[in-house]
Amino acid sequence: MTSAPASSGAADTAPTEPSSAPDTPAPTAANWQTLKTPDGKLQFDHPAEWTIKDRGAEATPGGVFLEVLNPGGKSLATLRTNVATSAECTPRIPYSVLDLVPVPALAQQGVTPHFIFELRLYPAEKDPTKANVMAYGLSSAPKPAGPDACPIFHYFTWPPGGASFGGVYNPLDTTPGNEPNVDTPEAYMNTAEYQNVKRMITSLRPAGQ
């Protein structure tokens, strides 16, 4: 599961539909590069100023493990392949879907994964920094529906099993270079960082395409 503590910046509200795109989205990076995974099976685009760290020694056998870092050393996303994708759906909890975009280049067995930015609410959590969990990434799971949802589980189908490409939003992060006054997921979606992360993750595709 991709999750991390976050602040109580989002209100304890009923599930919502993905928000509309901002009227004036933040500019994305000017210079982009394309990186092919060490196994030669996938590739994605990323801002030239970001660093891709190969953590292959920690990967599952036969898999890939890459971490994307900004110039300040902040971890923005990880890409892992050949991972197990089973998960238990307990407990079901209140949620909110903030952004949702299909990624047809990664369709497998008739299922098209999507990029999703979502939130889970833990009303019983006494620590306000753990009351909300917010994460973004690729998922082949159906979009959450109804009054509650499973814990965040960002994995998508990719031979021979599953893969993940995503990260977390933590408004308490103090990495140098963070944009000021960004303490809610809605505000974060208007930042250049989020726009770049979203463009990077949704650019993932089979190598050579």
Each residue of 192-207: pLDDT tens digit? 999 999 999 999 999 9
CATH number of the domain to which 152 belongs: 3.40.1000
Query: Measured between alpha carbons, how far is 76 from 201 in angstroms, rounded to an integer?
Result: 10
Check: CB of residue 186 under 8 Å from CB of residue 194. Answer: no
Provide the domain limits for residue 88: 5-206
- Structural domain count, the chain: 1
Q: What is the pLDDT of residue 24?
A: 57
The model's pTM: 0.85
Query: Measured between alpha carbons, how far is 133 from 129 in angstroms, rounded to an integer?
Result: 9
Q: What is the pLDDT of residue 84?
A: 83
Residue with tokens 């994708």: 85
The token duo for 72 is 């300040």
| Spans in the chain with pLDDT lower than 50 | 1-17, 19-23
Cα distances (angstroms) measured from residue 22 to each of 47, 67, 125, 142, 187 = 21, 28, 31, 25, 10
